[in-house]
Structures are given as structure tokens and as C-alpha cells.
């Protein structure tokens, strides 16, 4: 069982590239605690089955990163850090094989958030797509379902705002450190989400968003949810990638059909045609 005193070492390791769920699990299994792993020598790390490149990264950071200072930064930013064994770590996220070793949270993760549905779609939403997202997010939130999305422009922002307007809970999953809001124009929205739900990320403070981070963000987005509703999405969009993760994680996938002439609905319609998503026309179809 993890203790809060050990959390600072989990946090320290989370800032080291190549130390993800597999290597963190290997370190914990071999050393018994992340504190013991953090103070281990290169030879001891090798004995734990850690590859040379990762060992070099750990050894280099052992003198550069202060676990106490990292925890102080987190507390000063008004955040919390949860590890696998913490009661506050989302229960559904624990179910996936590549669950992040550390999850950073701004706001509150509530037990009721286990009843969550992710609403995702294109950043270049059409008026029809915005109407769909607002309708479903409003009804889901009013029914006591937490609305999860990625704080992105377009469908994500519409879903978050609709859930808040309905007096419900919403969770925003970010692909950067929680001290950085991306896109920056959603800073006010992010504050509102933190007051009526939570912002979460598996990236440490100071980590800027990068294109390769968004797929990792999407896997968390689907994992913390019972199901994913795809509103609008191109064939190669992030929304379709989220649906793929949901299927791999044994989550439900729902899709709102659109015009066969609409490029932003081609991916959604393909999900339905392949039988990978359930066609929905009302919130009752999801509930």
C-alpha cells in the first residue's frame, strides 16, 4: 500500500522520460517502495530489470530533482497527486493495463464520477455538431452523469459548458501539466471545471502540450468513462482514436449519425457502419 510519504518519489519518477506504467511497476515490485527505488544505484536499477537508457535517465535526475521540492510545487499550485494505490485515484482508470503511475488533479474527483460518459468530437465543429454536443451533454449532466472531455476547441468546449450550465459535474483531461491551460483561451472554462468537477493529467507541472501527448490524453479520457459518445469526427481525428481506445478498454462507444455529405461525420458514420459504435438519437439511448 502506498503512503503519502512515498508519493513524492512517485512524483519524482513521473518527471523522468521512459518511466511509465511498466517500469514503475517493475521498480515497485523489486524495491518494495518508490523511495527505495529513488535512492538505488545504477547497479541496483539494472538488477531490477531496468534498461540502460532508463537507468542513465534516473541516475541523472536523482541529483537534479528534489522529491520534497516537487511536492511543494504541487501543493503551491493547488493540485493533488494520486498514485495507483491512493483511494482518490479514479477506479475505472485502475482497470487499464497502462494506467498512469501518477495522476495530477485540480479540483475534486468524486465517487459519483464513476458514472461518466466522455463526449468527444472535432475542433472544427459545425453548428449541427455543436447542437448535438450541447443537447447530449446537457441531458447527461442533468441525469447525474459526469461529462468527460478534453478541454479542446469545438465539441469538447461545448460539452463542458453544457454540463456546467445544467448544474452537473464535468472532468477535463489535459495533455500537459495542470499549471498550463491549452488552449489558453479556455483558462476561464478550466477554472469553472475545477470548481464543479476536476481537471486531470498524467503530465507533471511545467510540461508543455505536444502532439504526441494527445493520444495518451485520449486513452485516459476513455478509461475514466463508462462509454464514449462521438459527436463529430473526421476519419483520422482524435475523436476516432478515443473511440478505438474505448473499444480496447471494453468501454461502450456511441455515435450520433450525420449527413453522408458532411466530412466531419465521415468518421462517425464509419464507426456505425462497422458496428463499432451504437447509433444514438437521444440521451435515453445511452442511459
Mean pLDDT, range 176-197, rounded to an integer:
95
pLDDT score for 17: 82
Contact between 141 and 113 under an 8 Å Cβ cutoff? The reply is: no
Contact between 30 and 37 under an 8 Å Cβ cutoff? The reply is: yes
Domains belonging to the chain, first-starting first, are 1-72 (1.10.150.20), 111-286 (3.40.50.450)
pLDDT score for 235: 80
Flag whether pLDDT at 191 surpasses 90. yes
Q: Using one digit for the tens of pLDDT, what is the confidence trace for 223-273?
A: 999 999 999 988 878 888 999 999 999 999 999 998 888 888 888 999 999
pLDDT score for 4: 58
Q: Among residues of the chain, what percentage have pLDDT more than 70?
A: 99
- Least confident segment among 131-140, 151-160, 230-239: 230-239
pTM for this entry:
0.92
Mean pLDDT of the chain: 92
More confident residue, 105 or 21: 105
pLDDT score for 1: 43
Amino acid at each position: 500500500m502506498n503512503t503519502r510519504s512515498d508519493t513524492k518519489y512517485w512524483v519524482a519518477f513521473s518527471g523522468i522520460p521512459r518511466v511509465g506504467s511498466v517500469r514503475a511497476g517493475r521498480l515497485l515490485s523489486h524495491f518494495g517502495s518508490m523511495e527505495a527505488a529513488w535512492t538505488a544505484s545504477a547497479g541496483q536499477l539494472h538488477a531490477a530489470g531496468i534498461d540502460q537508457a532508463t537507468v542513465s535517465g534516473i541516475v541523472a535526475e536523482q541529483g537534479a530533482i528534489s522529491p520534497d521540492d516537487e511536492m511543494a510545487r504541487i501543493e503551491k499550485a493547488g493540485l493533488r497527486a494520486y498514485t495507483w494505490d491512493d483511494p482518490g485515484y479514479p477506479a475505472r482508470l485502475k482497470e487499464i493495463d497502462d494506467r498512469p503511475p501518477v495522476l495530477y488533479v485540480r479540483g475534486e474527483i468524486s465517487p459519483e464520477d464513476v458514472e461518466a460518459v466522455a463526449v468527444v468530437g472535432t475542433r472544427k465543429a459545425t453548428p449541427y455538431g455543436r447542437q448535438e454536443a450541447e443537447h447530449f451533454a446537457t441531458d447527461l449532466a442533468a441525469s447525474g452523469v459526469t461529462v468527460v472531455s478534453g478541454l479542446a476547441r469545438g465539441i469538447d468546449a461545448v460539452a463542458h459548458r453544457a454540463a456546467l450550465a445544467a448544474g452537473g459535474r464535468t472532468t477535463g483531461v489535459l495533455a500537459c501539466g495542470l499549471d498550463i491551460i491549452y488552449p489558453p483561451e479556455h483558462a476561464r472554462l478550466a477554472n469553472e471545471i475545477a470548481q464543479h468537477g476536476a481537471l486531470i493529467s498524467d503530465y507533471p507541472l511545467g510540461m508543455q502540450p505536444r502532439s504526441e501527448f494527445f493520444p495518451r490524453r485520449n486513452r485516459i479520457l476513455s478509461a475514466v468513462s463508462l462509454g464514449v459518445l462521438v459527436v463529430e469526427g473526421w476519419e483520422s481525428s482524435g475523436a476516432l482514436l478515443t473511440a478505438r481506445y474505448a473499444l480496447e478498454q471494453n468501454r461502450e462507444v456511441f455515435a450520433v449519425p450525420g449527413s453522408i455529405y458532411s466530412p466531419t461525420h465521415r468518421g462517425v458514420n464509419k464507426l456505425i457502419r462497422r458496428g463499432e459504435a451504437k447509433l444514438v438519437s437521444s440521451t435515453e439511448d445511452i442511459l
